[in-house]
Amino acid sequence: MKANEKDYQKYSDAIDRIQEGNEAMIELFNELEKDNPVIELNEEVLKNITRAKEKYGEEVIDQKINSIIAEMLSWLDLNESP
């Protein structure tokens, strides 16, 4: 392909920008951390939570689940060393 100096510079600049984008993506990938769920919920529970959120709203269900978990945790002596 033939190109004049102006075209050559445009392609060179475009390649530089692509390379910068690739480097940014690699940096983001390298900074990823594995997301470990706090609670492993079984598939049936997850399905019911999704259905409840659709019916009653996400905020309401999140609040109710948090209240139940907080109550359950209040039964445990969490200040004691293991």
Query: If pLDDT is split at 50, 70 and 90, which confidence band does 80 have?
Result: confident
- CA dihedral (10, 11, 12, 14) in degrees, to 10, reads 90
- Amino acid letter, residue 82: P
- Average pLDDT on 37-62 reads 96
Query: If pLDDT is split at 50, 70 and 90, which confidence band does 64 have?
Result: very high
**Residue 60 confidence (pLDDT) above 90:** yes
pLDDT at 82: 66
> What residues does each domain of the chain span?
1-32, 37-82
